[in-house]
Amino acid sequence: MTARILVADDDPKHAQLIRLYLEREGHQVLTVGDGRSALDVARSRKPDLLVLDVMMPLVDGLDVCRILRAESDVAILLVTARSSENDMLLGLDIGADDYMAKPVSPRELTARVRALLRRAGAGEGGLLQVGDLEIDAGRFEVRMRGEAVTLTAKEFAILELLAKEPGRVYTRGQIIDKAFGFEHDVSERTVDAHVVNLRRKVEQNPAEPEYVQTVYGRGYRMAEH
Amino acid sequence: MTARILVADDDPKHAQLIRLYLEREGHQVLTVGDGRSALDVARSRKPDLLVLDVMMPLVDGLDVCRILRAESDVAILLVTARSSENDMLLGLDIGADDYMAKPVSPRELTARVRALLRRAGAGEGGLLQVGDLEIDAGRFEVRMRGEAVTLTAKEFAILELLAKEPGRVYTRGQIIDKAFGFEHDVSERTVDAHVVNLRRKVEQNPAEPEYVQTVYGRGYRMAEH
DNA sequence: CAACCTGTGAAGAACTTGTGGCCTCATCGC
DNA sequence: GCGATGAGGCCACAAGTTCTTCACAGGTTG
């Protein structure tokens, strides 16, 4: 399960370390250096999980946590240098989902992140089914009429996004944001190109798609079956 | 969710860039180059959202924000070159809903705009129902007797407008304004043409429409059911 | 370096939109 | 009633957009 994670830490070296650990796990990571930016970015990019340092300039981690908890249910992992029992209880009280003391070990970090994402994404389930199309999100596997289909990463991401909510129309911009991940800035034609390839692999007759359909002037959607 | 957005920026190149980004998301965009025009146009066209540059001739963005906030609850996104904390807090204090520093990245802009519109348009809800006709505004979907009907953008806009208030009569001029958006200058016959096409798709017998009805000499309305 | 994935521009197809025109039909004055 | 008048229905075509598809240029990976 790959996720979008925002890391907020005022020590750039520490932030880069955490980014490295998480990217090795296949996650998309964005870092900021103060609480104010953490709030802004969390609101605008809507990550799946926040790794928050407690001590930060402008707005501290506990406040960021408190504020965000009031507006969304994003998963939050607090990190602190002070390994006091007090801080921890305070953090969990405020609505953090988990808590770690510095120094951060890679094993512990990735284990806790995995656990949090599993909890948060419990509703996502592994297997998506639309008509004769099966998508196993955990295994990156797709089957059409029982037959395995090999997709590239982007193709899979687009298919998965659309299949999560059949009938819903996504603009090309939304597909770039949500399927390719933030920090991605590509032409909207690129989405078309991937869709062409996707249809070639998934549709019986790509000229009249039964699954990945175009909604003229708006974007694409998965047909309801 | 498509919205009417007014962009106020004294740098025409920057304004065009923002227009481009927003239009790619499907919004209707109008641009002005100074604070005085921003006030005028905001009052006369009543956009859903304002993207305001802080530094502008005649009346600056902060003043425009302050003045408009006193008279309406339009969503306001401030943009500034000065990325100082001060400005930002001042902006939010004055009543702006969100705040961005230049240079503006397309993803950040569209993400913030989406968030603002979602917040502002919380009451818009999704599903309109009139008789056997269902309109899902969020998904751009229309069903008649449960069967999906494919409409063009204009057809959908007209149908949605009329369905929001069944029984109310809209003149062709009002339909052009409210359904097609500002910046639109077309003949009133155009509305007739769209209505003809709409009826072909939605009505059982287009000659005796049960939904989109003509009010002779006035305009059109959605029948009450 | 070979194979493959990803992103882009361009040509052409498909679709939408706007308009003029012609015909039908509602309305009103007689 | 009955025409005159003009509003609305509907068609066909032109112009403008948007999508599909392809070929190709980096980039990555193994």
pLDDT for B95 beyond 80: no
Alpha carbon B223 to chain centroid, angstroms: 24
Hey, is B157 helix, strand or coil?
helix
Secondary structure letter of residue B105 according to DSSP: P
Q: How would you classify residue A167: left for phi > 0, otherwise alpha for psi between -120 and 50, otherwise beta?
A: left
Sorting pLDDT into bands at 50, 70 and 90, what band is A17? confident
Measured CA to CA, the distance from residue A219 to residue A92 in angstroms comes to 42
Strand B75-80 to strand B49-53: parallel, antiparallel, or no bridges (unpaired)?
parallel
Q: CA–CA separation, B97 vs B107, rounded Å?
A: 18
Determine the residue among B141, B151, B155, B201 to mutate to test chain A binding: the one whose Cβ has the most chain A Cβ atoms within 10 Å.
B141
Three-state DSSP class for A206?
A: coil
Which two structure tokens, joined as six digits, stand for B148? 């999906």
Rounded to a whole number of angstroms, the distance from the CA of B129 to the nearest CA of chain A is 18
Beta-strand pair B219-222/B169-170: antiparallel
Measure B141 CA to nearest chain A CA, in Å: 8
First CA to last CA distance, chain B: 26
Strands A127-130 and A98-101: unpaired
- Give the whole-angstrom CA distance, residue A55 versus residue B94: 29
- Helix ranges (DSSP H) in B11-50: 12-24, 35-45
Higher pLDDT, A99 or B13: B13
Whether residues A216 and B152 touch (CB distance < 8 A) is answered with yes
pLDDT band at B124 (very low <50, low <70, confident <90, very high): very low
Query: What whole-number distance in Å separates Cα of residue B78 and Cα of residue B91?
Result: 7
pLDDT band at B178 (very low <50, low <70, confident <90, very high): confident
Q: What is the pLDDT of residues A82-106, one digit of tens each?
A: 544 444 445 444 557 777 777 666 6
User: CB atoms < 10 A from the CB of B193, how many?
Assistant: 12
Between CA B204 and CA B207 the distance in angstroms is: 9
Q: How far apart are the first and last CA of chain A?
A: 26
Confidence of residue A193 (pLDDT cuts 50, 70, 90): very high
Q: Is the Cβ pair B140, A172 closer than 8 Å? A: no
- Look at A18-22, A125-129, B64-68, B80-84 and tell me which has the smallest mean pLDDT: B80-84
Please state, rounded to an integer, the average pLDDT across all residues of chain A: 82
Burial letters for B138-152: b for 16+ Cβ neighbours within 10 Å, e otherwise?
A: ebbbbebeeeebebe
pLDDT value of residue A187: 92
| Cα(B112)–Cα(B115) distance, integer angstroms | 5
Give the neighbor-by-neighbor strand order of the sheet with A28-32.
A28-32, A4-8, A49-53, A75-80, A98-101
Is the CB of A215 less than 8 angstroms away from the CB of B140?
A: yes
Q: Which among A156, A131, A125 is positioned nearest to A225, based on CA atoms?
A: A131
Alpha carbons within 13 A on the beta-carbon side of B9 = 25
- pLDDT of B27: 83
Q: Which residue is nearest to nucleotide C16 (CA to C1')?
A: B152
Residue at minimum CA to C1' distance from nucleotide D22: A193
